[in-house]
Structure 1
Amino acid sequence: MIVILGASGATGSALLDRLGTLGVPSRALSRDPESLRARLDGLGGGPVEIHAADAADPDSLRVAFKGADQLFLTMSNSPAQVMLETQVIDIAAEAGIGHIVKLSAPAVGPRSPVLFSRWHHAIEEHLRSSGVTHTVLRPYAFLQKLPHLAPTITAQDVILGAMGEAGCTYIDCRDIADVAAAALTRPELAGGEYTLTGDRTFTYPQLADVFSSLLGRTIRYVDLPPDAMRRNLTEHAHMPDWLAGHIVEIQQLAVTHPETPTDTVERVLGRPPRSLGAYLRENLHQFR
């Protein structure tokens, strides 16, 4: 049995869909099981158990992990993430789960310039010390995060950022989920560390050009100094300061450590990753 912690999120729900298509039994954990059940109605595919569970509630995890042999671990970034994920790992090990696939982040390390990457480094280190076989996925920016650009595109025909001419290797969450499903169903992939990207980099000016072509109007990129970008996110997007800081750190990481596409998705799945253009065409209504 494969347990998916974070089954309501973009990657977790895509993994649930993929395992269903493969006919692989899975157990989806959610703090809101009824909403998840409503989303899954009519999907078909393999059998899915839905359990109410919360990473902050150890007893709920112990119940949810009974009889499971693999775990997909993904959580929303938060200041409590290290504490919560290491707790999940410990409970999974106690429950006899033999393989954990963890969704991590790029540029992990104790001195990473990105706060979230330092968090993920600490979690990965704990996972290594747990004795559980583990697979680590390190994706770059999700295509599914692009709708965060929609407010200024729809209202002002602009994209705001602090990346200059640096490129970003966007990846579709569905490709991440497909790689995760492969790691959970193909034993030869277990134990690896996989950096996941799309098939090319896009600068923000290039991204603006793509939007211009698809929307039929001119979209401009406006480059801001990092501090100004952070203020814009807290004052206008109403983000908490720690999250705004993370977004700016990620954008600056692309400046100081240029992103390079990998061939991991194609090597694992035998097909190219989904493209930025294809994703935008599917979701263009969000940017009109």
Structure 2
Amino acid sequence: MNAQSVTAVTGATGFLGSRIARALAEAGRPQALIVRDASRAPRLSGASVRQAEYGDSLAARAALEGVGTLFMVSGGEDPRRQQNQLAFIRAAARAGVEHVVYLSFLTTTPDSRFTYARVHHATEAAIVDSGMAHTFLRPNIYMDIVPYWINSAGVLAAPAGNGRVSLISRRDICEVASHIMLDPGPWRGRSVHLTGPQSLSFHDIVVTVSEATGRPARYVPQTEEEAYEARRAFAMDELELEASVSTFTAIAAGEFGQVYPDVEEITGHRATSLREFLTR
């Protein structure tokens, strides 16, 4: 890598990107924060702020000039998400970015039940085809959202059947990503699978929530049709609706139940369990 190149972090106004940017700043690493709204960017030592959106190719290319390693979060839930991400990847390649560390997803197949897994598959393929070096971080579903799955009556209603999921803490993802961004060379061409230490059924999840919080919770399996009908009450658009339901139908299909040791191997400590997350 060119000694004059800088590291760039996208999503620096969000939970993951901001923590990774802070870790780089604390390590004294010069970096560029690529954000949509410069006024919201964190003020960090050694960091410049560059404004660009994924779908704006000209702004993205200008923002990425001089960047050696790029941390790329996936775009927001938008009908143009895949199109915008592919435009950003083309801009990165044209700007001379050497290595993309992309925050992908555990399963990235073109026929996944989960809507966004298919988007991640297309994005990974575009990065590989671009000729830039790559590292794919593939986390499972964030355990941070589990409390939001349970309604005020203590019911987790979902079309997950008897499927299992190895939920991952966002803090563990941040720690792994920061480690890799500080020394990306050994991770070129590799995919890192990030899961929690357990593969949990939804019955396991509600029992853990009940025991950890003292608030009773129970799992009510839904059919796919029931799930769509229930979620329409939240005025979701069709893309959000499909993504929400397909999260659980993919779990039911066995796509998210794998457990990998990568978090512990990279950080030196065991991945956070759901119980630990809920009680810390």
Name the CA shift for 1:215/1:181 in 2 (closer, same or farther; >3 Å). Answer: closer
Name the CA shift for 1:227/1:10 in 2 (closer, same or farther; >3 Å). Answer: farther
- Tell whether 2:181 aligns with 1:184: yes
Contact 2:24 2:182 in 1 (8 A): no
Counterpart residue number, 1:69: 68
Contact 1:15 1:174 in 2 (8 A): no
- Tell whether 2:29 aligns with 1:24: yes
Amino acid at match of 2:54: A
Contact 1:20 1:48 in 2 (8 A): yes
Q: After TM superposition, list the pairs within 5 Å mapping 1:8-19 onto structure 2.
A: 8-19=13-24
Identity among equivalent positions (%) equals 25
Contact 1:93 1:130 in 2 (8 A): yes
Q: After TM superposition, list the pairs within 5 Å mapping 1:188-199 onto structure 2.
A: 188-199=186-197
Counterpart residue number, 1:162: 159
Q: CA deviation at 1:9?
A: 2.5
* Cα distance in 2, alignment partners of residues 54 and 147 from structure 1: 31
Contact 1:179 1:269 in 2 (8 A): yes
Counterpart residue number, 1:56: 55
* Cα distance in 2, alignment partners of residues 267 and 90 from structure 1: 33
* Cα distance in 2, alignment partners of residues 280 and 212 from structure 1: 10
The superposition leaves residues 203-247 of structure 1 with CA deviations (integer Å, 9 ceiling, x where unpaired) of 222221122123323211111111111221221x33222222222
Name the CA shift for 1:20/1:280 in 2 (closer, same or farther; >3 Å). Answer: farther
Counterpart residue number, 1:286: none
Amino acid at match of 1:173: R
Alignment partner of 1:156: what SS?
Answer: coil
* Cα distance in 2, alignment partners of residues 121 and 27 from structure 1: 27
Counterpart residue number, 1:80: 80
* Cα distance in 2, alignment partners of residues 94 and 273 from structure 1: 37
The superposition leaves residues 110-147 of structure 1 with CA deviations (integer Å, 9 ceiling, x where unpaired) of 22232222222111111111110011111110123224
The superposition leaves residues 182-219 of structure 1 with CA deviations (integer Å, 9 ceiling, x where unpaired) of 22222112220112111112222222112212332321
- Tell whether 2:224 aligns with 1:226: yes
Q: Compare the two structures and name the one with the higher helix fraction.
A: 1
Q: Report the TM-score when normalising by structure 2.
A: 0.89
Counterpart residue number, 1:254: 251
- Tell whether 2:211 aligns with 1:213: yes
* Cα distance in 2, alignment partners of residues 161 and 207 from structure 1: 12
Q: CA deviation at 1:160?
A: 1.7
Name the CA shift for 1:191/1:49 in 2 (closer, same or farther; >3 Å). Answer: same
Contact 1:18 1:177 in 2 (8 A): no
* Cα distance in 2, alignment partners of residues 182 and 277 from structure 1: 25
Counterpart residue number, 1:285: none
- Tell whether 2:277 aligns with 1:279: yes
Which one of 15, 35, 38 corresponds to residue 33 of structure 1? 38
With 252-261 and 220-229 compared, the bigger mean Cα shift is at: 252-261
Alignment partner of 1:69: what SS?
Answer: strand
Q: After TM superposition, list the pairs within 5 Å mapping 1:36-47 onto structure 2.
A: 36-37=41-42, 40=43, 46-47=45-46
Contact 2:56 2:88 in 1 (8 A): no
Deviating 4+ runs (over 6 angstroms): none
Name the CA shift for 1:276/1:14 in 2 (closer, same or farther; >3 Å). Answer: farther
Q: After TM superposition, list the pairs within 5 Å mapping 1:99-248 onto structure 2.
A: 99-149=99-149, 152=151, 155-186=152-183, 187-235=185-233, 237-248=234-245
* Cα distance in 2, alignment partners of residues 148 and 30 from structure 1: 27
Q: CA deviation at 1:255?
A: 1.9
With 192-201 and 3-12 compared, the bigger mean Cα shift is at: 3-12
Name the CA shift for 1:57/1:173 in 2 (closer, same or farther; >3 Å). Answer: same
Contact 1:184 1:190 in 2 (8 A): no
Alignment partner of 1:271: what SS?
Answer: coil
